[in-house]
Amino acid sequence: MGNLADINEVLYHTGLSAAIIEKAEYAILPGDPGRVEVLAKAFGEAKFIASHREYTSWLTHINGKAILVCSTGMGGPSVSIGMEEFARIGIKKFIRVGTTGSIQENIKLGEVIINNAAVRLDGASRHYAPIEFPAVASLELTNALVAAAREVDVPYHVGISVSSDTFWPGQERYDSFTGYVPRALQGSLKEWQALGACNYEMETATLFVVAQSMGLAAASICGVVAKRTQSEHVASSDIYQLASERFISVVKRALLNMTKEGK
């Protein structure tokens, strides 16, 4: 069962307890604290419950079941800290939502990517498992997201993410302050493309490895707001809005289906 906290014990980093989250077993994890309220309200009647550091939390309900929506900030370290505390207060299933940059020509702006695995360019996951250990998603949660995308008619792709601890050199971007990318990372974008990876982002590898190490389930879905085969820049606000609306609709339908079925 793991080291569960007492029901009323408020944990340090997230400011949450099992009682505060009404014994929720699902957590939806955006990176951006500013996205939490919109997500929670899109799922149903929602209420603010806590905010500490990068962890802003709202609680909502679907089919009578409590659902935690909590931001994790950017990158793997804060994801791992949050997941440790979420697990201790009873969360069993994690779905990361966010934005991403596609690296394949056939993946268009505004579409969604459901990652079933991730390349471990992060550092946090190495504190949970050796680099030879794969970063893989829960088959159950991934299939639920795929089925939901089909049901709500959202264009989607399933594949491998490249999870980097940095936004610029790790993703081979040259529009940084210095424009410098270390030799070991030069040409890495073409390599990941050749290997069939779909996208760059910063949290999924940590999410998958930490969840697997705890015996819990995790999945990830991101909206495409940059197309690296064309530009290193994020697309317009209209594309950002479209991508957000699409991943929200997919996650909502998946949660409706899973909670209705009692999974």
Q: For the whole model, what pTM was predicted?
A: 0.97
Q: Supply the residues annotated as catalytic.
A: 13, 85, 173, 228
Domain boundaries, the chain: 26-260
More confident residue, 33 or 235: 33
Helices (H), 23-124: 36-43, 76-88
For position 106, what pLDDT does the model report?
97
Q: Residue 78 — very low, low, confident or very high, per pLDDT cuts 50/70/90?
A: very high
For position 141, what pLDDT does the model report?
98
pLDDT tens profile 147-166: 999 999 999 999 999 999 99
Q: Find out if CATH 2.40.10.10 is the number for domain 26-260.
A: no
Q: For the ranges 50-54, 214-218, 227-231, which has the lowest average pLDDT?
A: 227-231
Q: Is the pLDDT of residue 2 over 70?
A: yes
Cα–Cα distance, 234 to 177 (Å, whole number): 17
Q: Is the pLDDT of residue 116 over 80?
A: yes
Residue whose C-alpha is closest to residue 53's, from 21, 89, 16: 16
For position 233, what pLDDT does the model report?
79
Cα–Cα distance, 68 to 36 (Å, whole number): 10
Q: Is the pLDDT of residue 98 over 80?
A: yes
